[in-house]
Amino acid sequence: MYKVNHDQAPKHISDLVSTVAVTETRPDLYSGKTTYYCLPSLRTRFEQRAFSYSGPTVWNKMPYDNRASPSLDVFKRKLKTYCFNEAFSL
């Protein structure tokens, strides 16, 4: 999702997700200016495994500090720390 957010991902991956700001009804709202991604509506539980759902779900749950990392290396380091803290509830 970091690469999608920074236009470094392939187009076919980027086309699977859309930001909240793209939603027509939110251009002037605070949520329209954030880096959150829209979650698609699901018909089955199996669809929760798709990148178009699981990627934005995890991305939206991360702290803003992690999402706003200046480089991919910094993001990976912060992501590892975040995942460790979530797994072991420190």
Collect all residues with Cβ–Cβ distance below 8 Å to 3 and sequence separation of at least 6.
Answer: 9, 13, 72
Tell me what the pLDDT averaged over the chain comes to: 85
Would you say residue 21 has pLDDT above 90?
no
- Return the percent helix, strand and coil in the chain, to nearest 5: 60, 0, 40
Q: What is the mean pLDDT of residues 47-69?
A: 91
Say if residue 72's pLDDT is above 90. yes
Which of the four pLDDT bands, split at 50, 70 and 90, describes residue 59?
very high
pTM: 0.77
CA-CA distances (angstroms) from residue 14 to 77, 80, 82, 89?
Answer: 23, 23, 24, 32
